[in-house]
Amino acid sequence: MLPEAFCRASVIGVLDPNMNIRDARPEDAKEACLVMRRSITELCRADHRDDPALLAAWLSDKTPEAVAAWMRRADASYLVAMEGETITAVGAVTDAGEILLNYVSPSARFRGASGALLAAMEARAGDRGATRCTLISTTTARRFYRARGYEETGQPVRKFGMDSGYPMAKILARPAALPEHIADV
């Protein structure tokens, strides 16, 4: 269960008051997959440069069946941002703090869905014992992650034939309810 603070989108920016973050369910796989595919195709042009081969490689494992299988992963949490009954963003984080994905629907871009989802994933990782989150950012999302405290940790890595994978990390804040000496244990 997500902390109440992350159940309703509450980040800086224009937000729809009806946007909520919740755990993904198996029946979300098809719609979550569509959000991923649209996000990649329509928003990540700086990465795939409309190259059909790069785009095909990136989309090759983005099927409803694959997404449903990913959601069964025992050491990861899949979350969705909801606007009413519609999935506007989908993300995943491992218990160790690796952000596996964070995709937003083009119709929800710049409305807080990705930021709220990222905050919820960071909270989930922290609840599971992670002290930092790591990820590989696209060129498209690089500025987004920097603005949220992520720092680059190495040279770009090749992914799906693109050289635009930027390793990044962020130290998670200590839980506010615990004294500093207990949080270090």
Domain extent listing, the chain: 4-183
Question: Residue 2: which pLDDT band, with cuts at 50, 70 and 90?
Answer: very low
pTM score of the predicted model: 0.82
Domain covering 4-183 assigned CATH 3.40.630.30 in the classification: yes
Closest to 24 in 3D by CA, of 102, 99, 109, 87: 87
- For 17, 44, 71, 153, the CA distances from 66, given in Å and listed in that order, are 31, 21, 9, 29
pLDDT in tens, 25-60: 999 999 999 998 998 888 777 777 778 988 888 788
CB 154 within 8 A of CB 169: no
Q: Which three-class secondary structure state does DSSP give residue 151?
A: strand
CB 102 within 8 A of CB 121: yes
CB 90 within 8 A of CB 24: yes
pLDDT in tens, 125-175: 999 999 999 999 988 888 989 999 999 998 888 776 666 788 999 999 865
Is it the case that residue 13 has pLDDT exceeding 50? no
Q: What is the pLDDT of residue 11?
A: 36
Closest to 109 in 3D by CA, of 45, 22, 24: 45
